Amino acid sequence: MRTLSKNTIAVWYVNPSGYTDTKDANDDYTGERTTTFATAVKVYINMFPSNGIVAEQIFGKDASLDMVAVSNDIVFTKDTLIFTSVPVSNFPTTYDYRVSKIVKSLNTYQYGLTRRT
């Protein structure tokens, strides 16, 4: 019942595509690496607040999550960034949710999401 198509909402997600070395103003490498992201993809997924007993049973009582997403076919990774509106640029500072916990069952994926602070 949690994965009915009438309960889905539109979200956009991006996955990391690689890393680039950071340069300073003198065009010298700083030794830091910046994550680069692929283009945003629009999907429809079931999301609900994590304040209920269902989220407690899936992720445990100690999980500090803001939202739970459930899907049969959408596969996120731990580094996936999720947007509730169309992302424009600068993904690491403008995302709405980050995947923090993943639980895979026989037919579905449950994702614990934390809000950007």
Tokens (6 digits) for 13: 């997600």
In whole angstroms, what is the distance from residue 50 CA to residue 66 CA? 6
| pLDDT bracket for residue 94 (50, 70, 90) | very high
Q: Where are the beta strands (DSSP E) in 15-87?
A: 16-23, 29-37, 41-49, 67-71, 81-83
Domain that holds residue 100: 5-115
- How large a percentage of the chain has pLDDT more than 90? 42
| pLDDT bracket for residue 35 (50, 70, 90) | confident
Q: What is the pLDDT of residue 41?
A: 94
Mind listing the pLDDT tens digit for each residue in 4-28?
778 899 999 999 999 889 889 998 9
Residues 6+ apart with CB under 8 A from 34: 19, 20, 21, 22
Average pLDDT, the chain: 88
At 60, which CATH number? Answer: 2.40.10
In whole angstroms, what is the distance from residue 47 CA to residue 107 CA? 17
Model's pTM, two decimal places?
A: 0.82
Q: Who wins on pLDDT, 62 or 8? A: 8
Mean pLDDT for the stretch of residues 62-86:
90
Query: Is the pLDDT at 1 greater than 70, yes or no?
Result: no
95: number of Cβ within 10 Å: 20
Mean pLDDT for the stretch of residues 92-97:
92
Tokens (6 digits) for 112: 């614990």
In whole angstroms, what is the distance from residue 74 CA to residue 5 CA? 13
Q: How far is CA 76 from CA 9, 44, 71, in A?
A: 16, 13, 10
Structural domain count of the chain: 1
